[in-house]
């Protein structure tokens, strides 16, 4: 009901609004204009925004507050919703959603570990005469709208073609396993394939060595402190 000095008390509970008093003079609008706004029917876009906002919040929370507009757009697309990144950005801002700051980015692999190191069977013999004979792998990083991401690649040394890859925000064993499994599934190399990488802990891990054993792949690693054994002949 109207109050003195332009005050309006919200007593409606059916709309879900909390009881409070608003001084419309502060808003520089008349009481009638305020009531018109209060009782108007939301537009289709406003109702759609309300629906999308709920989905954005749910996906954002599920990502542990790490997804930005690009990943939210992809996630919503997978749910059958085509929403532009500008709209998602606006909805995030209106909802007060902000991505967590990632931990400091590590640009290189860790070769200072106590894990088993494979011999350098390749020994810089980079002239290969057939496909699926030698694969070389490496981890690099690229900058995206979501920040820095790690990219693991698998290259057939004969054709210099990328036959497997994987990208993630972390640099763990699963990253290189996924890349190699893609190459295996795509090329189906025979047993005896030589797999040459640097001495990074991801490639020396138990999980990765078990994957190689499972597919009959022989592991080879660069000499200590000489990552160029791999990198200079990959591209």
Residue with tokens 């906002």: 53
Residue 10 has pLDDT above 50, yes or no: no
Q: Are 202 and 208 in contact (CB under 8 A)?
A: yes
Q: What is the extent of the structural domain holding 58?
A: 44-95
pLDDT on residue 169: 87
Q: Which of 90, 142, 144, 22 is nearest to 153 (CA)?
A: 142
Residues 150 and 222 in one domain: yes
Place of tokens 């020994």: 123
Query: Is 197 a member of any domain?
Result: yes
The number of CA neighbours under 13 Å toward the Cβ of 84 is: 3
188: domain CATH number is 3.30.420.10
Same domain membership, residue 33 and residue 54: no
Q: Give the rounded percent of residues in the chain with a pLDDT score beyond 90.
A: 47
In a domain, 150, yes or no: yes
Query: For residue 124, what is the DSSP state?
Result: T
pTM for this prediction: 0.52
Give the residue, 20 or 162, on which the prediction is more confident.
162
- What's the number of domains the chain is made of? 3
């Amino acid at each position: 009901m109207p109050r003195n000095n332009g005050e309006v008390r919200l007593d409606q509970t059916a709309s879900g609004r909390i009881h409070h008093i608003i001084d419309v003079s502060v808003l520089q609008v008349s009481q009638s204009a305020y009531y018109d706004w209060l009782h108007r029917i939301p537009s289709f876009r406003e109702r759609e925004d309300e629906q999308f906002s709920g989905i954005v919040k749910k996906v954002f929370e599920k990502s542990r507050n790490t997804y930005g507009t690009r990943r939210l757009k992809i996630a919503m697309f997978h749910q059958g919703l085509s929403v532009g990144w500008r709209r998602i950005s606006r909805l995030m801002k209106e909802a007060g959603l902000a991505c967590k700051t990632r931990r400091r980015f590590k640009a290189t692999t860790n070769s200072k570990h106590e894990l088993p190191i494979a011999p350098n069977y390749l020994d810089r013999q980079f002239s290969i005469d057939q496909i699926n004979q030698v694969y070389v792998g490496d981890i690099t990083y690229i900058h995206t709208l979501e920040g820095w991401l790690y990219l693991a690649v698998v290259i057939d040394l004969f054709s210099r073609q990328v036959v497997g890859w994987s990208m993630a925000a972390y640099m763990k064993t699963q990253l290189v396993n996924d890349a190699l499994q893609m190459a295996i599934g795509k090329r189906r190399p025979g047993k005896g394939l030589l797999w040459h990488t640097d001495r990074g802990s991801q490639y020396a891990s138990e999980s990765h060595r078990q994957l190689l054993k499972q597919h009959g792949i022989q592991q080879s690693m660069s000499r200590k402190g000489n990552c160029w054994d791999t990198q200079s002949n990959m591209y």
